[in-house]
Structure 1
């Protein structure tokens, strides 16, 4: 497609337009259709009368979305007029680069280009210890931490597209990786929480704040402070005795805000600690939570509170909690979630149900800012680009009072080059027989059935109640089709295809080994050891190769060693299983001790009731009941 743009075009816009030519498959040329660009207050518009086109925009991010809309509609017809009204002032995404997967600079730039065409103007980079502190060489040591130059390069690139990069750090909890070195002894309350009230703690926090804000234009910063469950109950308790944790929270927050004020910053924090402390059971979403008015009165006013919620499907719940946040006296920010953190595949059933409810409530309650998180819990086995469909859903909510599936599909194809059904349907590697519709109980069998030990069979009592083999066989074939049409996203679907094959072969293998042993069917045991396990080892190796290639396309090298160790452990245990079974059927050993144990229900975490396939998201719990340390 050839277009010729004239009108209100800044130098940044011109640079961005040239960069997007390849992604959007258009060419700038004077021979192309003439498009008049006007910068003005109000709704964004894109249209064409058959001869000439126009784009009207208020902010740079609106221009890029309108450009995408113009190209999309020009493909289908010569005459069109599209009008959209932004529902939020700021919306975007938070990218987790603290759970081993640290995005390459090129990956960040790719996300920025895609987000620009989607119309998302906020890019949040969640760094616990993955940025450089010049005076602390062990901070982020061997973790892929960003240099100041790398972060500045990202900020410059984002600014060209009208996107604000907001640094996100932790100034209270979630600092296990940062605090594990000897330099942190003086400032550590517990393994993951800073020692509040200690002067050296605030020197350290200022060093973090000064360093992380240096590369960025934005004066906004997210300073974390969530899930510090043991606040004041470690070294602080030993030194000072028990103190009301509401008071500790407010005192610490005030000291940190004194630092952000020194650097002329506008901070935000997660809100959950106030709600947990106000709940008798320590829950964040306790409907009976009570935060005393004197605590609210004592809360600093120069900070925004971020309400994070990835769990509820009812608009009414979000509305209630948004109103509770408003009682703090400031405009809350809403943070939803794309469920990328429960394994290699995203849970899009849960993502869509919670996002639609949460963002509809935000629009009804007049929330001005919303962003979506993409966490990488327990090693970042999944790939952040698998979350693109969730980003598109956020973008469509940002520009429409209600979102239609038809428009979501067409926008996704234009903005990402991806196929809606292909991205969506990988959810069925987790949404299996034994799980709920839309996987609302957060089951992740594709993860624990990949890693579980076939001789120990921790999940086998659940597996044997459901036909998973045929389920995975069906989706293996379907995903093969997706792989063939995935284009530039083939590195995602190659992993999904190979994962589905491994799951088909492995999901009930432990069940069949135990059943064959119980029947004393040594011929079947020999067949499993000689053929099935050997074929499975080859398939696991192929999955590992594809997964490794995917990682190095997207992330820095650091962190892959953990997943390498997981695959290595899995392959070693498969080899041991074959060896032990062969020794047993050949009479070299008299017993398989692992087969003498009854297979109990997993009965840990949640979602395992009545034989259902539930949720487990800690690798060490999946592979063995034995101690890992």
Structure 2
């Protein structure tokens, strides 16, 4: 397809040229005429009698409009599309601190899709994964971004009108930085900076200088969430006990002095103030908060609070908490979530169930800035390529006053990414298995614990007894077939995504109940079955796990910096080694070299008590170190 985009497009031209291959057109004077005009008001697209028109207000609106026009041309659908942007800022925050640091190739291809979606914000969550020249151990061997890399990302995003906002930490979540000897003097507790200590603020100023020199935006996210150890470690020893609300206020005031020095406009997570002012000392979302005028007046001014919430499916709850945030004295920014954390596969069901009411609440309450977090807790086993489905949902909410039309969303996903929405949605069934509620609202991560759990120890085997012994392997077998078909439909790095999950589903179809089979045969004294399992089943699973490891590594190396992969290599290596041990132990028993296998005589208990009881596979918040052993994995 050839397009002749005309009008005052000089500022848009770099972005147009960059997106030509994504939309399948080339800019040519001999092409279809597309008249472009910049004006306040709604985004406007028209395709009629072989000509196109686009009217836009902000650059990001133009690139969404361009994708809408190409969509009409390709579908031979004459007519007009008008959309009213609901948010002034809408985008994502990529976690680059949980081992997987997205490389420039991945970030750029994501930015291209975001431009076509009409998303204008990117935050990179970097606890210690950016360069501070004065601190060589800050981000050491963690794949930290150089200043030059951040500038390149910022330049690339700017051609589409996408704002890159640094997202750092200036209080908590700094365990990886504070573990080094050279940083110990800055530590209050394991992951919290020592407040009211002069060198701490020298360090924070170095942070601000590093990130402010690397991007053009003057906005910055200064973090400060979940700093529960504030004032309770070395601070307590040095200063005695003080109310943590007062410590927090004094620390924030000093940090805000530094943001002012560098001309920065800060925002921060709000949860610590909720936690510190909760009347019953509860969690972020519990109980009543003491936001009286007297208390609020003590909180330093000049910072916007970010309300993060990806846990609720009730619009009224979100609206109530938006009101609570406004009591803090500034207009809140809302942060939802695309559930990519705590498992090996994304949880799209829960993402949809919680995002729709959240963004409807934001629109109802007039919140103008939103973004989707994509965390990577416990080693970032789920690749951030899988966030694209959720980003499309955020985008469509951003240009729709009410509910999003699912069929339209699927069509937009095809246009903006070139991939199938339905194929990507299949990934959610790695965890939404038989025995799990619809949309997996309890965050079962069965694909994770079934892969990592030990064949001889089987900490989750009790949950798999009964009907699941048959239904679970069949579920994964059928899913592997669907993943194979999806892989054939995909292209580029998307093909690598489906290749990984094809192999993972194949592993789980064989490994899910392997421990039960081994334990049951041993307890029945069935040495013939034990030999078959040792000589046939376990070697098969071993080969499938290794194929999955290689597919996972290929995807990681294509989309992330190599640092951090060593952790997953260790995890896969542990499974492979323990499978070999299981094979050896069974053969030793069958051939009479040992009299008993104590591991298989131990009673299998439920990993956790279930509510309701019919939900057999549910392992909410279960991380690797608890999945693989009942012993001590790594501690003094």
Q: What TM-score do you get using the length of structure 1 for normalisation?
A: 0.98
1:452 equivalent to 2:461? Answer: no
In the other structure, the counterpart of 1:515 is 520
The alpha-carbon deviation at position 406 of structure 1 amounts to 1.1
SS in 1 for 2:70: helix
Structure 1 CA distance, aligned partners of 2:438 and 2:157?
Answer: 38
SS in 2 for 1:36: strand
Given the alignment, which residue of 570, 577, 589 partners 1:572?
577
Give aligned pairs, total.
Answer: 627
Q: What TM-score do you get using the length of structure 2 for normalisation?
A: 0.97
1:501 equivalent to 2:510? Answer: no
The alpha-carbon deviation at position 611 of structure 1 amounts to 5.7
In the other structure, the counterpart of 2:336 is 336
Asked if the contact 2:474–2:509 (Cα under 8 Å) also holds between the matched residues in 1, the reply is: yes
Given the alignment, which residue of 478, 483, 490 partners 1:479?
483
Asked if the contact 1:378–1:617 (Cα under 8 Å) also holds between the matched residues in 2, the reply is: no
1:69 equivalent to 2:68? Answer: yes
Asked if the contact 1:2–1:27 (Cα under 8 Å) also holds between the matched residues in 2, the reply is: yes
The alpha-carbon deviation at position 608 of structure 1 amounts to 8.2
For residues 326-352 of structure 1, the C-alpha deviation after alignment (integer angstroms, 9 at most, x for no partner) is: 111110000000001122210000000
In the other structure, the counterpart of 1:58 is 57
The alpha-carbon deviation at position 475 of structure 1 amounts to 1.0
Structure 2 CA distance, aligned partners of 1:290 and 1:446?
Answer: 42
Asked if the contact 1:441–1:607 (Cα under 8 Å) also holds between the matched residues in 2, the reply is: no
The alpha-carbon deviation at position 281 of structure 1 amounts to 4.1
SS in 1 for 2:4: strand
Alignment of 1:3-42 (within 5 A): 3-11=3-11, 13-42=12-41
* CA-based RMSD: 1.2
In the other structure, the counterpart of 1:425 is 426
In the other structure, the counterpart of 2:540 is 535
Structure 1 CA distance, aligned partners of 2:572 and 2:270?
Answer: 38
The alpha-carbon deviation at position 596 of structure 1 amounts to 1.2
Asked if the contact 2:342–2:623 (Cα under 8 Å) also holds between the matched residues in 1, the reply is: no
For residues 447-473 of structure 1, the C-alpha deviation after alignment (integer angstroms, 9 at most, x for no partner) is: 011000010000000011423111111
Structure 2 CA distance, aligned partners of 1:180 and 1:483?
Answer: 41
Question: Which consecutive residues of structure 2, in runs of 5 or more, have no partner in the other structure?
Answer: none
The alpha-carbon deviation at position 152 of structure 1 amounts to 0.5
In the other structure, the counterpart of 1:442 is 443
The alpha-carbon deviation at position 255 of structure 1 amounts to 0.6
In the other structure, the counterpart of 1:241 is 240
In the other structure, the counterpart of 2:306 is 306
Alignment of 1:391-430 (within 5 A): 391-401=391-401, 402-430=403-431
The alpha-carbon deviation at position 179 of structure 1 amounts to 0.4
* Runs of 4+ residues over 4 Å off in structure 1: 606-611
| CA pair 616-517 structure 1, distance change in 2 beyond 3 A | farther
Asked if the contact 2:453–2:459 (Cα under 8 Å) also holds between the matched residues in 1, the reply is: yes
In the other structure, the counterpart of 2:148 is 149
Structure 2 CA distance, aligned partners of 1:418 and 1:287?
Answer: 44
Structure 2 CA distance, aligned partners of 1:571 and 1:236?
Answer: 45
1:561 equivalent to 2:562? Answer: no
Structure 2 CA distance, aligned partners of 1:533 and 1:616?
Answer: 28
Structure 2 CA distance, aligned partners of 1:215 and 1:319?
Answer: 36
In the other structure, the counterpart of 1:125 is 124
Structure 2 CA distance, aligned partners of 1:287 and 1:58?
Answer: 43
Structure 1 CA distance, aligned partners of 2:353 and 2:42?
Answer: 28
The alpha-carbon deviation at position 285 of structure 1 amounts to 0.6
The alpha-carbon deviation at position 9 of structure 1 amounts to 0.5
| CA pair 14-607 structure 1, distance change in 2 beyond 3 A | farther
Given the alignment, which residue of 552, 561, 565 partners 1:547?
552
Structure 2 CA distance, aligned partners of 1:345 and 1:289?
Answer: 36
Structure 1 CA distance, aligned partners of 2:159 and 2:524?
Answer: 68
Alignment of 1:196-211 (within 5 A): 196-211=195-210
Alignment of 1:312-331 (within 5 A): 312-331=312-331
Asked if the contact 2:121–2:164 (Cα under 8 Å) also holds between the matched residues in 1, the reply is: yes
In the other structure, the counterpart of 2:283 is 283
Structure 1 CA distance, aligned partners of 2:502 and 2:77?
Answer: 40
Asked if the contact 1:274–1:291 (Cα under 8 Å) also holds between the matched residues in 2, the reply is: no
Structure 2 CA distance, aligned partners of 1:611 and 1:515?
Answer: 23
In the other structure, the counterpart of 2:387 is 387
The alpha-carbon deviation at position 30 of structure 1 amounts to 1.5
SS in 1 for 2:307: strand
